[in-house]
Amino acid sequence: MKSLIIGGSGFVGSKLITELGKSNCLIFDKRPSAFFNEITTIGNVCDREALRFSSEISEVVLLAAEHRDDVSPTSLYYDVNVKGTRNVLDAMDEAGIKRLVFTSSVAIYGLNKENPDENHPQNPFNHYGKSKWQAEEVIKEWYEKDPTGKSVTIIRPTVIFGERNRGNVYNLLKQISSGKFMMVGNGQNKKSMAYVGNVVAFIKDRSTKSELGYHVFNYADKPDFNMLELVSQVEKEMNISLPKQKIPYWLGMIAGYAFDTMAWLLRKKFSISAVRVKKFCATTQFDATKVRSVFEPPYTLGDGLGKTLEYEFINPKKDDVLFYTE
């Protein structure tokens, strides 16, 4: 019996299949896999007719999502993340599959929350977070309709980083490692982060358990760094020294809105935007006590940062396999 990894051609999926073993997995994705194309079926979760699961599948790991913060039109978040989830669940019912691991997001809690745990009220501030929460509600309704024999794990990871990933953490590490980085805000805001090697190890741990029921976990590697501590860690790993001046938050937001205006006028995307400045200066700290009570990650947060910096900047590896996430 095999695990079907929906969205398995992406960053987390590629790492997960390496962890689980190619012979134990199948991929369903709208894009070919750079590493495992021989086990990949091309399709879209929005196409219900394309979701026909074979009898050798015992479990679904649903990673597929619209998650970048610049998706247009915004209806795509709901088409993929909500309707797509419903399509997957309908296909699972059709095939008699009762085991699901779903990657949601801590974005469902919103910004500047005080270390929310899994029971914290939901208050998403963007379409991604709203659509992920709606997807969770769809899954909960599916589970409660007939819980007999079902195993559901909802994982709410914070921002995931690692080798080959081109997301917000990579962009931040690139800026810091260039030596031209300047802090926006006072740098005291804490950032929960998750190294991809630990995330896939936890998914593997959950998918190999025979535990029934409905389970929800935040995922973050601890202890959290504030921005000053993160910069200091990178300075140490890279053996560099950065300017100590700070840009006031209000000035950073003005610059973000200016770039938003230019992006609209020029129909071009920029790496700086108001929402990215807001997210950079926000406290994004999440309680991961529950997951640490059942799982011991193989890497520390410092290990993950060190491995990523080594791969990307200290002794950079050059190939064409990169994953652009946000």
Exposed/middle/buried for residue 56 (C-beta within 10 Å: 0-12, 13-18, 19+) = exposed
CA–CA distance, 225 with 285 (Å, rounded to integer): 9
Give me 321's structure tokens: 């396999």
Domain count, the chain: 1
For 252, the enclosing helix (H) or strand (E) is helix 249-266
Please name the amino acid found at residue 60.
V
Q: What is the pLDDT of residue 326?
A: 62
Residue 16 lies in a domain: yes
Give me 188's structure tokens: 């005291």
Residue 246 lies in a domain: no
pTM summary value: 0.91
In terms of phi and psi (left: phi > 0; alpha: psi -120 to 50; beta: otherwise), the region of 223 is beta
Per-position pLDDT tens, the chain of length 326 = 899 999 999 999 999 999 999 999 999 999 999 999 999 999 999 999 999 999 999 999 999 998 877 778 889 999 999 999 999 999 999 999 999 999 999 999 987 788 999 999 999 989 999 999 999 999 999 999 999 999 999 999 999 999 999 988 998 899 899 888 889 999 999 899 999 999 999 999 999 887 999 999 999 999 999 999 999 999 999 999 888 889 999 999 999 999 999 999 998 888 788 988 888 898 889 999 999 999 999 999 999 999 999 999 999 988 789 898 76
117: CATH? 3.40.50.720
User: What is the arrangement of strands in the sheet containing 40-42, beginning at the earlier edge strand?
Assistant: 40-42, 25-29, 2-6, 57-62, 99-103, 151-157, 213-219
Sign of CA pseudo-dihedral 70, 16, 8, 143: negative
Residue 322 lies in a domain: no
Give me 159's structure tokens: 């921002």
**Interacting residues of 187 by C-beta distance below 8 A, sequence separation 6+:** 226, 227, 228, 231, 246
CA–CA distance, 175 with 192 (Å, rounded to integer): 19
Name the H helices within 98-153.
127-145
Residue 202 lies in a domain: yes
3-state secondary structure of 239: coil
What is the bridge-based pairing of β-strands 57-62 and 40-42? unpaired
Residue 257 lies in a domain: no
Question: What is the set of active-site residues?
Answer: 128
Residue 270 lies in a domain: no
Q: What is the pLDDT of residue 140?
A: 98
Q: What is the pLDDT of residue 228?
A: 94
Q: What is the pLDDT of residue 276?
A: 82
CA–CA distance, 279 with 261 (Å, rounded to integer): 18
Residue 281 lies in a domain: no
Residue 278 lies in a domain: no
Q: Which domain holds residue 141?
A: 2-165+191-225+286-299
Considering only CA atoms, which of 95, 65, 84 is closest in space to residue 138?
Answer: 84
